[in-house]
Chains A and B, each alone.
Chain A
Amino acid sequence: GENVEQHPSTLSVQEGDSAVIKCTYSDSASNYFPWYKQELGKRPQLIIDIRSNVGEKKDQRIAVTLNKTAKHFSLHITETQPEDSAVYFCAASSIGAGSYQLTFGKGTKLSVIP
């Protein structure tokens, strides 16, 4: 089955700096890669996703890049703000039994220092 590795496990940045979180996956059949943000005690919220037919996607201050050959994808947050502090999870998805199944990384705790 799919295995997703996520690094780093913790990340501290100064407000205004950029943050980068990296993930690798094992199943070459995976074709959908979402990123979720989870604040303490709250639900995981989808912040951005990318499909295997594109290499990069941007949404305001966040961007995701995908390298299918190397089987890794990354989340980039620019101009970080204190409200970006949360745990971020990457995931990889492939079809099994006719519907998509997500395998998550272990998460990165991002702390933005004011």
Chain B
Amino acid sequence: EAGVVQSPRYKIIEKKQPVAFWCNPISGHNTLYWYRQNLGQGPELLIRYENEEAVDDSQLPKDRFSAERLKGVDSTLKIQPAELGDSAVYLCASSPHRGSDTQYFGPGTRLTVL
């Protein structure tokens, strides 16, 4: 079974530029999470989807961050414009359905903002 897939693995941009990350969850998983992991810290939830519905986006900085999961499968997280403090690893995770507590993580996208 393929795991959670993310791309790109690494991204370097200059501040004020836009950037987008893509995630494909494990096949059949309805719940999808985006996390941000700062250096030396644990992952922090940004947004959670149940199919195509964002059920918890309270931690997403909505002035510059946006996300979508239009068909309830893969998802895109966007930052526009990026700031220096956005440098982090952006992790995607999935669970089979909302009643499942186990989350499976992707390899992440390491973003560096110069």
Contacts and interface: CB of A to CB of B under 8 A. Distances in A.
Interface of A: 4, 6, 32, 34, 36, 41-46, 49, 51, 89, 91, 93, 96-107
Interface of B: 3-4, 31, 40-45, 48, 50, 55-56, 91, 95, 98-108, 110
A104 B91 contact: no
Contact of B48 (A42, A45, A101, A104): A101
Given A43-B105, A99-B95, A91 B42 contact: yes
**Top 7 A-B residue pairs of the complex, sorted by shortest distance between their CB atoms:** A104-B42, A99-B98, A32-B101, A100-B101, A97-B55, A43-B105, A43-B107
A contact patch SS: strand
B55 A105 contact: no
A107 B41 contact: yes
Contacts, number: 67
A45 B103 CA distance: 9
A63 to B, nearest CB: 18
24 contacts: A34-B103, A43-B4, A43-B108, A44-B91, A45-B105, A46-B102, A89-B42, A89-B43, A98-B50, A98-B98, A99-B48, A99-B55, A99-B95, A100-B95, A100-B101, A100-B103, A101-B45, A101-B48, A102-B103, A104-B42, A104-B44, A106-B41, A106-B42, A107-B42
